[in-house]
Homo-oligomer: A and B are copies of this chain.
Amino acid sequence: MTLAATRPRGRPARTARPVEETRSAILEAALKLFSERGFEGAAMREIAALAGVEHSLVRYHYSDKATLWRAALARLIVDMNAHMAAGWRTTRRQPPLDRFKATLRDYVRYCARHPEHARIMVQEAMGESDRVAWIAEQIVGPQHRALTRLLRPLMDQGHLPRVPLRNLIYMLSAAAQSPFTLAGEVRHAYGIDMLDKAEIERHADALIALLIRD
């Protein structure tokens, strides 16, 4: 009893964009909506719409909602590692303390560009879902091990406050991320756009001043 002139089923003629572009668009949309509304709050149909695609296609590429979530986060990590590694290489021959300062600044820039990162971490870190375990194992573990190697010698030389490394890492990351994670709040409370280049650098300066003792 179909009466409206509906488009026929199936793959449309005139092929659209290449597959990798489609997958990429889906992951990007997923990241945005998961970070804005949480896992349950983000609807797959909405993610599909944002990626300009039908909702069944999302389930074709990523069979589950959970699978989609994991794929989106995996991409986030790859991006972050690439960003930080690039910055790390460009400071190759500098003295360790300067190198650390540059890395901090680089991390602040990353936080500004990818506020979804911290937001998703917070959203998932409480519930009983197995997503927490996945995050802890895939992301937090490696990241903290790397940070420990970086921070310990600096602390031994007195450039950092002498506190348990674990606590320092959590304070450091949170302090770097916070104004960008809460950018909407800052905008409403202060009328300031945290994504402004000058604001980002100002915050990097503040973080360095807070941490480093030289």
Interface residues of A (CB under 8 A from B): 35-41, 115, 118-119, 121-127, 132-133, 135-137, 140-141, 144, 161-164, 166-168, 170-171, 173-175, 177-179, 181-186, 188-190, 192, 202-203, 205-207, 209-211
Other-chain residue from B121, B126, B173, B175 in contact with A183 (beta carbon distance below 8 A): B126
Interchain CA distance A188-B130 in the complex, whole Å: 10
Evaluate contact between B164 and A122: CB separation under 8 angstroms. Answer: no
Cβ-defined partner of A164 (8 Å) among B41, B136, B171, B206: B206
Chain A interface SS verdict (over half): helix
Q: Is the CB of A210 within 8 A of B163?
A: yes
Cβ of B170 and Cβ of A125 under 8 Å apart? no
24 example contacts (A-B, Cβ-Cβ < 8 A) are as follows A36-B127, A37-B40, A38-B38, A38-B41, A40-B40, A40-B41, A119-B122, A121-B185, A124-B184, A125-B182, A126-B183, A127-B184, A136-B188, A137-B188, A137-B189, A166-B192, A167-B206, A168-B206, A170-B178, A170-B186, A171-B174, A171-B175, A174-B174, A174-B178
